[in-house]
Chain A
Amino acid sequence: MQITVTVNGTEYTRDVEPRLLLIHFLRDELGLTGSHWGCDTSNCGACVVWLDRTPVKSCTALAAMASGREVATVEGLEKDGQLDPVQQGFVACHGLQCGFCTPGMMMTARWLLDHNPDPSEQEVREAISGQICRCTGYENIVRAVRWASEHGAAEHREPAQHVEAEVTA
């Protein structure tokens, strides 16, 4: 089937099998290998990207589901040659060792800061609780996100678009 997906602002049209997973579409069809493919079982979060501005484990979504929708990946965090404060935070706080979990962690962190510009340590931990890091023990990841929050992450905010159900109570 033919799908058209907007990734980091660029529209891509491709012929794919409906069973193709979003992570493989991004990595193998588009060559965007920033998003990592880890556990393959919805558990590690290395594959987290945004679909319609909401983080998703892209090993658990079909590329077909993204057709006509917007995807954002770690490659899109940098703007005009400037690293996003979240990326700077990971550099400043040594938020990664092997770097395998990092793209997913940064996409979740960016989303968290868009919705909660000054998260507590506990809130950061909760936000990344569906993601696994085998290297850092999480301490420096949490510091990196807090660093970003203190260094202008709010000014880099994407216009927040939350998944709210209509409450007419």
Chain B
Amino acid sequence: MQVPTHVEYERASSVDEALEMLSRAGGEARPLAGGHSLIPMMKLRLAQPELLVDISGLTELSYINVADAELRVGALTRHAQLLDSAVAGERLPIVHDAERVIADPIVRNWGTIGGSLCQADPSEDLSAVLAALRATAVIRGAGGVRTVPAREFHAGPYETVVEPGELLVELRIPLTANTGSAYEKVERRVGDWSVAAAGAVLTLAGELIEDAGIGLTAVGAPHFCAPEAEEFLRGRRAGEEAFTTAGQIAAEHSNPVADQRGPEDYKRHLAAELTTRALRKAFERA
């Protein structure tokens, strides 16, 4: 039987109150959003916070809206809400592709977008999606608000730049014209974490690729992205040849490790193949 160690619990009724509770307790406090990563970690005693600050009721952080050519997603928006969002579905098919295969419908009811990102598991699908999209994270602390590019958000496995006493409050995703996107994941069974996955965002100028974003999940790509492959694509004619080579470049720069989900060479193969497939689909959708 898995039981967390002793912990204190407080429920915040506003963001300000949550920030106050967190900073009062120092580094030993953790925000509790959906709890779908933190509670399993606590049950395994991989996390042993002294205080949980329950932020799950902060509806002020649960929203999806469009402003200044950006999709703005509150940190407490749940996976199921993002999956159901019509704007996200139309403008950002990569988000929709990924949300369909993140965990299962019951987990998606509770897991939040902010919790996903802050968990910083190397297999977290949204980390790669937001890296591909060059999203921005909005972080709030006692000292005010700061923004951090998604590609600088993760400090390492299970580590982010969010400091104790701060909260991730919003994600901003640019909505760019002439752009298509897609996410391709291989999992062992429905609801499981990725063996490997790749996301692609392509902005076209006629037949040429004006800009590209590539995100990689679970293959040890630094900051979940593939800048060398993006650089290769920029200015090139969109098509099979470019997409295949970009896949190979992305795989060369990834560093997968063998685990129960598969050996290293298989994951590297997937990094190449899934990048190519995601680029192909992004192109069709652009």
When chains A and B are docked, how far (Å) is the Cα of A40 from the Cα of B32?
19
A98 interface residue per 8 A CB criterion: no
Q: On chain B, which size bracket covers the interface? A: 35 or more
When chains A and B are docked, how far (Å) is the Cα of A67 from the Cα of B53?
14
Q: What string of 1s and 0s marks CB contacts (under 8 Å) between A4-34 and chain B? A: 0000000000000111010000000000000
A80 interface residue per 8 A CB criterion: no
List residues of A (13-72) whose CB comes within 8 Å of B's CBs. Answer: 17-19, 21, 40-43, 45, 48, 54-57, 60-62, 64-65, 67
When chains A and B are docked, how far (Å) is the Cα of A71 from the Cα of B56?
16
Q: What string of 1s and 0s marks CB contacts (under 8 Å) between B77-94 and chain A? A: 110111011110000000
By secondary structure, the B interface counts as mixed
When chains A and B are docked, how far (Å) is the Cα of A21 from the Cα of B40?
11
Q: Of B7, B43, B62, B106, which is within 8 A of A131 by CB?
A: B106
When chains A and B are docked, how far (Å) is the Cα of A19 from the Cα of B3?
7
A60 B39 Cβ-Cβ under 8 A: yes
A130 B7 Cβ-Cβ under 8 A: no
When chains A and B are docked, how far (Å) is the Cα of A56 from the Cα of B108?
9
Question: Nearest-CB distance from B179 to chain A (Å)?
Answer: 17
List residues of B (40-70) whose CB comes within 8 Å of A's CBs. Answer: 40, 42-43, 52, 54, 56, 62-66
Question: Nearest-CB distance from A54 to chain B (Å)?
Answer: 5
When chains A and B are docked, how far (Å) is the Cα of A41 from the Cα of B46?
14
A19 B5 Cβ-Cβ under 8 A: yes
Query: A130 and B5 in contact (CB under 8 A), knowing A42-B36, A60-B40?
Result: no
B36 A165 Cβ-Cβ under 8 A: no
List residues of A (75-128) whose CB comes within 8 Å of B's CBs. Answer: 108, 126-127
B106 A61 Cβ-Cβ under 8 A: no
Which of A67, A131, A163: most chain B Cβ within 10 A? A163
A164 B84 Cβ-Cβ under 8 A: yes
When chains A and B are docked, how far (Å) is the Cα of A41 from the Cα of B64?
30
When chains A and B are docked, how far (Å) is the Cα of A169 from the Cα of B68?
11
Query: A61 and B39 in contact (CB under 8 A), knowing A130-B107, A165-B74, A167-B65?
Result: yes
B104 interface residue per 8 A CB criterion: yes
B190 interface residue per 8 A CB criterion: yes
B66 / chain A contacts, CB cutoff of 8 Å: 168-169
B105 / chain A contacts, CB cutoff of 8 Å: 55, 108, 126-127, 129-130
Q: Of A17, A108, A131, A166, which is within 8 A of B65 by CB?
A: A166
A166 / chain B contacts, CB cutoff of 8 Å: 62-65
Q: Which residue of B lies closest to A17 (CB)?
A: B6
B25 interface residue per 8 A CB criterion: no
B8 interface residue per 8 A CB criterion: yes
Question: Nearest-CB distance from B59 to chain A (Å)?
Answer: 9
When chains A and B are docked, how far (Å) is the Cα of A169 from the Cα of B85?
10
Q: Which residue of A lies closest to B65 (CB)?
A: A168
B5 / chain A contacts, CB cutoff of 8 Å: 19
Query: A18 and B9 in contact (CB under 8 A), knowing A48-B106, A108-B106?
Result: yes
- A residues contacting B by CB (< 8 A) are 1, 17-19, 21, 40-43, 45, 48, 54-57, 60-62, 64-65, 67, 108, 126-127, 129-131, 163-169
CB<8 Å pairs between A and B, sample of 24: A17-B6, A19-B42, A40-B1, A56-B109, A60-B39, A60-B40, A60-B110, A61-B35, A62-B32, A62-B52, A64-B54, A65-B54, A65-B56, A130-B104, A130-B105, A130-B191, A131-B104, A164-B84, A165-B78, A166-B62, A166-B64, A166-B65, A167-B65, A167-B85
Given contacts A61-B110, A168-B65, A168-B66, 12 further A-B contacts (CB under 8 A): A18-B52, A21-B39, A42-B107, A43-B191, A56-B110, A57-B107, A62-B35, A129-B105, A130-B106, A163-B80, A167-B87, A169-B66
